[in-house]
Amino acid sequence: MHAAMLGEYWLRAIGGLDSARALNSFEHLHYGAAAAPGAAIVAISHRGWREFPARMAVGGNLKRLVKAAICGEGPRPGARAADYVFITTEQEKSGAHTKSLTCALAILLEIAIETAIARGEHDRALLIRRDFAEVPARLERRLADPSAERAAAEKYRNYRRILLIGAGPSFACAREGALKLKEATFTYAEALETEEFLHGPIASLDAESLVVLIDGGEPPSPRLAEAARAAGEIGAARLALVTEAGGDLASLAEHTIRCESRIEATSPFAAILSLQLFTYFSAIARGCDPDRNHRDDPRHARAASHFDL
């Protein structure tokens, strides 16, 4: 769902498609409104094995649509039946998917850029593509030196309640970070849009809470700074993930991870990688296996036998 949220953002902000919407595949199949003929649907699945994205790709009442699937190598027949199939990477060994998400995001951004070009928005599309071309090298540099994420994980290893907040594309990053923390560290982590956080949930903060503020750039930066100041007054710990396009959260947080990204449109790649690394080192620091989704616990192994993904 988080890849779909970013796909919606890019198709709207870059591709100019105001009708783009991110939908949960199960919800859309059972409760969604019928799409108009000529519309397109993109089903996204890490592995290409899940039932509901595959059913989105083959049709039912969706047969009048142009259908695309974004998935890992060796997808099931449903995904292969789409009009267009984009393969991300080989199947991941870990239950906490990382590189397949990054590849799916790259495909979605390219679709948005190509959509903008097809609509005549060449200058803006090519500007973003030039910045996007630098993303792989930026990610490689961070993978070569994840010391900031490792230090943060060690510092906050004992926190059992983590709130991640952001707005715009950074909210999708917050949701992905919360998911990874739950999958790999088994910690209660919740993602909130900045305004949602300030309109009630902030009342639940205390000195045992960690607030992760994700700043991918304007316009959310000033509001995030207000949230950081408010959390500090309560005594909550604050971890800031700040890109080059972001604001000055570093002066408001006890620990800062600086993510290499110049514009908001491509900031999710850097932010998500830092969140993945923070999660990995947090799992190690807490004595958790980051790859098993808690299936090394017999209770969770039995629980998993009751459903299929």
- State the CATH number of the domain containing residue 10: 3.40.50.10490
What would the DSSP string read from start to end of 249-261? GGGGSSEEEEE--
Judgement on whether residues 172 and 269 belong to the same structural domain of the protein = yes
Judgement on whether residues 64 and 156 belong to the same structural domain of the protein = no
Give the confidence band of 54 by pLDDT, cuts at 50, 70, 90.
low
Residue ranges making up the domain that contains 60: 2-133
Does the residue 294 lie in any domain?
A: no
> For residue 53, what pLDDT is reported?
56
Q: Within 10 Å of residue 277's Cβ, how many Cβ atoms? A: 22
Q: Could you tell me which residue, 166 or 24, shows the higher pLDDT?
A: 166
- The residue from 133, 156, 191 where one domain ends is 133
Does the residue 139 lie in any domain?
A: no
- Of 33-47, 81-95, 196-210, 281-295, which has the strongest mean pLDDT? 196-210
> For residue 63, what pLDDT is reported?
58
Judgement on whether residues 155 and 263 belong to the same structural domain of the protein = yes
Radius of gyration of the chain (CA): 20
> For residue 60, what pLDDT is reported?
47
Does the residue 305 lie in any domain?
A: no
Does the residue 14 lie in any domain?
A: yes
pLDDT tens digits along 171-197: 999 999 999 999 999 999 999 999 999
Mean pLDDT of 269-278: 97
Q: Is the pLDDT of residue 270 over 60?
A: yes
The torsion angles phi and psi of 210, rounded to 5 degrees, stand at: -110, 125
Judgement on whether residues 129 and 162 belong to the same structural domain of the protein = no
20 residue type, one letter: A
Judgement on whether residues 125 and 160 belong to the same structural domain of the protein = no
pLDDT above 70: percentage of residues in the chain: 94
Provide the number of structural domains found in the chain.
2
Q: Within 10 Å of residue 1's Cβ, how many Cβ atoms? A: 14
Q: What is the pTM of this model?
A: 0.91
Judgement on whether residues 173 and 129 belong to the same structural domain of the protein = no
| Stretch among 16-20, 138-142, 211-215, 293-297 having the lowest mean pLDDT | 293-297
Does the residue 121 lie in any domain?
A: yes
> For residue 309, what pLDDT is reported?
65
Distance CA 173, CA 197 (A): 15
Mean pLDDT of 75-102: 85
Judgement on whether residues 99 and 173 belong to the same structural domain of the protein = no
Does the residue 143 lie in any domain?
A: no
Does the residue 138 lie in any domain?
A: no
Judgement on whether residues 113 and 164 belong to the same structural domain of the protein = no
Contacts of 195 (CB under 8 A, 6+ apart): 167, 223
Q: Is the pLDDT of residue 51 over 80?
A: no
Judgement on whether residues 85 and 199 belong to the same structural domain of the protein = no
Does the residue 142 lie in any domain?
A: no
The torsion angles phi and psi of 237, rounded to 5 degrees, stand at: -75, 150
Q: Is the pLDDT of residue 156 over 60?
A: yes
Distance CA 114, CA 133 (A): 14
Mean pLDDT of 39-51: 77
Judgement on whether residues 70 and 182 belong to the same structural domain of the protein = no
* Burial grade of 144 (CB within 10 A; 0-12, 13-18, 19 or more): exposed
12-17 long-range contacts (CB < 8 A, ≥24 apart) are 13/112, 13/265, 14/109, 14/112, 14/113, 14/115, 14/116, 14/121, 14/124, 14/125, 14/128, 14/265, 15/111, 15/112, 15/113, 15/115, 15/116, 15/119, 16/115, 16/116, 16/119, 16/121, 17/115
Judgement on whether residues 11 and 95 belong to the same structural domain of the protein = yes
Judgement on whether residues 168 and 114 belong to the same structural domain of the protein = no
